[in-house]
Amino acid sequence: MILPTLPPGHMTFPVEDDVFHPHLRRGELAVVDLADHQPAQGELFLIAYRDPRIECGRTFALCQMVGRPRYRRPGGGWVQQAEPGAEPATCWMARHWIPPADPRDREAALRSGRFGTSEGPFNTEHAAEKLMGRVVGVWTPGR
C-alpha cells in the first residue's frame, strides 16, 4: 500500500534491494508501524540485531517472519515431535528474502546463486523483543 503521508508512530526504512519484490522494491521507503511487534506468519518486519561495531550498538534489517509449530525443550532447543517435558510453541525464523513458492523455482534460484539468509529460531517472546515493527506500506515523499 502506498501511503500519502507518514502516520504518527511510524518510521521509514530504505529498501536497498529487491529481495522482497513484489512487496517492496529497491529505492522505496518501507513504512514501519512501531507499535506492532508481534510476529505474524509471512508478514514483513524491521528487525534489530546487536552489533558492537556500530556506535549505537544495533543494526537493522527487513525480514519476513515464518513460524512453524514445534516443541520447546525445558532447557532450550526445539524438536519436531512431542517428548517428555517439551511444550508446544511456535518456532519463528526471520527470513531476509522471499524464496519462490514453487520448489522447482526455489531450486533454480539456489543453483543460480540467488538465495537469502534467515535468522532464528526464536520463540514468540524473543522475536517480539527483536522486531522494531511491522511493515505496513511504502511512502513516497511528494506523492
The set of residues, in sequence order, having a beta carbon less than 8 Å from that of 35 and lying 6+ positions away, is 9, 133
Residue with cell 511456535: 90
Q: Which three cell numbers stand for residue 30?
A: 518501507
Residue 137 pLDDT more than 60? yes
Spatial separation of the C-alpha atoms in residues 33 and 137, rounded to whole Å: 9
pLDDT digits (tens, 9 = 90+) for 14-69: 999 888 888 999 999 999 999 999 999 999 999 999 888 888 888 999 999 999 99
pLDDT recorded at residue 142: 64
**pLDDT band per the 50, 70, 90 thresholds, residue 126:** very high
pTM: predicted TM-score of the whole model, two decimal places: 0.86
Question: Residue 108, Cα to own-chain centre: how many angstroms?
Answer: 23
Contact status, residue 97 vs residue 72, Cβ threshold 8 Å: no
pLDDT exceeding 90 applies to what percent of the chain? 60
Spatial separation of the C-alpha atoms in residues 91 and 121, rounded to whole Å: 6
CA angle at residue 107 from 60 to 95, to 5 degrees?
15
Contact status, residue 36 vs residue 11, Cβ threshold 8 Å: no
pLDDT recorded at residue 75: 86
pLDDT digits (tens, 9 = 90+) for 58-98: 899 999 999 999 999 998 899 999 999 999 999 999 998 87
Residue with cell 523455482: 105
Contact status, residue 39 vs residue 131, Cβ threshold 8 Å: yes
- Out of 9-13, 102-106, 132-136, which region has the weakest mean confidence (pLDDT)? 102-106
